[in-house]
Amino acid sequence: MKALHFGAGNIGRGFIGKLLADSGMQVIFADVNDSVIDLLKSRRSYGVKIVGDSINTVERVTQVTGVNSKDETAIITLFNEVDLVTTAVGPNVLKIVASTFAKALEARIAGGNTKPLNIIACENMVRGTSFLKEQVFTHLNPDYKDKVEQLIGFVDSAVDRIVPPVKPDAEDPLLVTVEEFSEWIVDQTQFKGAIPDIKGMELTDNLMAFVERKLFTLNTGHAVTSYYGKFKGYKFVKESIEDESVKAFVKSVMQESGAVLIKRYGFDPQAHAAYIEKILKRFANPYLVDDVDRVGREPLRKLSYNDRLIKPLRGTIEYGLPNDNLIRAIATALSYRNENDPQALELAKSLAEAGVTQTIKKYTELQDENVIARIAKAYETL
């Protein structure tokens, strides 16, 4: 079995690529980073350091190689050879790779390959693979659309493992450091052909509940830890969450978001409270060095309509639930400044030039004037 995985970054090497390789697949990483690709080609293996209270071990991932994802000819050839395609490139990059995917699928079908192929995007977004499918279909020649529907499974997933970047190790420059916890849940109803047997990939027919539970608890809390931590002058997630005022705020935001999830999906309130506590402990993992700027990256994405702050807020409005903390969390996200992050620069520029109310409207797409005014007031009184 062969898998083509796009994105040889933290989650690609530290989680998805490792699971695929551990399950006996040959993994080809496609990336735009030439030095990472060269290292993958020459070394053919790397270490994954797993750290936690009861573990500190390095596991080797072998049988890997690399290809430049801009090399369309090579990607098209590989699409015809592989049994599975996965991505962990970031939500904004899905649009960029979609045209190559369309060409590669057309070539696979034109060449007479009738074997089903499954594609799984492993990104922090709700139904990211369905979004990728939409993008691929905008590029597909209409003559191929029926065959793609018939043979290609676009399988949504939820992916959870904290993998911060680490300083390159002199002996093993591809080494990644990961937490012990990991969860990869896929929508079993969307596969075409046999479901690949991958140890650590869980199947569900109720994916939305798991995606939203993860994105609107862990990622909501993580974003608030980062934005409020940065506001208070911290550099790392661990030091932010160790500040009791940050922790209390983060927890109250996760509880407000959790009330929406409990109402929408019927989660057991006690089990959900335990899920929140476990996540708070994961943020405080003393063996991970995670920068608030990594977790806060791309604030405009995180402030968008369906993402970790605004969708939970919309849920509280839908169900008439409390949301003072979510409102303050969104105001805190608006205060995020990072001159190395193009989206943070765009956010600051918009606030300076268009003002807070117009900025909220533009990026969150909220329309409720009362809610917009509450966020604006919270921002001005931060």
Ligand X SMILES: NC(=O)c1ccc[n+]([C@@H]2O[C@H](COP(=O)([O-])OP(=O)(O)OC[C@H]3O[C@@H](n4cnc5c(N)ncnc54)[C@H](O)[C@@H]3O)[C@@H](O)[C@H]2O)c1
Ligand Y SMILES: O=P(O)(O)OC[C@@H](O)[C@@H](O)[C@H](O)[C@H](O)CO
Q: Residue 299's binding partner, choosing from ligand Y, ligand X, none, with beta-carbon cut-off 5 to 8 A by kind?
A: none
Residue placing its CB nearer to ligand X in the complex, 1 or 32: 32
- Considering only the stretches 107-115, 158-166, 228-236, 251-259, report the one whose residues sit in contact with ligand Y under the rule CB under 6 A: 158-166
Q: β-strands 201-204, 176-179: how paired?
A: unpaired
Q: Please name the residue that has the structure tokens 């030439």.
A: 34
Q: Is 207 in the site for ligand Y (CB under 6 A)?
A: no
Residue 13 binds ligand Y (CB under 6 A):
no
* From ligand X, ligand Y, none, interface partner of 252 (C-beta below 5 to 8 A by class): none
6 marked ligand binding residue: yes
Interface stretch with ligand Y, choices 43-51, 146-154, 160-168, 261-269 (CB under 6 A): 160-168
| 183/252 with CB nearer ligand X | 183
d(CA 287, CA 278): 16
Q: Which does 219 bind (CB under 5 to 8 A by kind): ligand X, ligand Y, none?
A: ligand Y
Q: Which stretch binds ligand X (CB under 6 A): 120-128, 200-208, 318-326, 353-361?
A: 120-128
For Cα atoms 2, 6, 7, give the angle at the middle one, nearest 5 degrees: 130
Element (H, E) at 210: helix 207-213
Structure tokens, 244? 């009791």
Q: Write phi, then psi, for 259 (nearest 5 degrees).
A: -60, -35
Residues in the chain: 382
Determine how many CB atoms are found less than 10 A away from the CB of residue 281: 12
Lateral strand order in the sheet of 157-160: 157-160, 183-187, 201-204
In the complex, the smallest distance separating the C-beta of residue 303 from ligand Y, rounded to whole angstroms, is 12
Q: How far is the CB of 305 from ligand X (least distance, A)?
A: 17
Q: What x-and-dash track marks residues 243-282 binding ligand Y by CB under 6 A?
A: ----------------------------------------
* Residue type at position 373: A
> Max alpha carbon distance in the chain (Å)?
63
In the complex, the smallest distance separating the C-beta of residue 168 from ligand X, rounded to whole angstroms, is: 13
Q: How far apart are CA 238 and CA 247, in angstroms?
A: 10
Per-residue binder mask for ligand Y (CB under 6 A), 282-321, x = binder: -------------x-xx-----------------------
List, in sequence order, the alpha helices (H) in 34-127.
Answer: 34-43, 72-81, 91-110
The two tokens of residue 239 are 């030091």
Based on the shown chain and the rule CB under 6 A, indicate whether residue 161 belongs to the binding site for ligand Y.
Answer: yes
Which residue ranges make up the annotated binding site for NAD(+)?
A: 3-14
Which residue ranges make up the annotated binding site?
A: 3-14
Residues in contact with ligand Y by the rule CB under 6 A = 124, 160-162, 218-219, 222, 295, 297-298
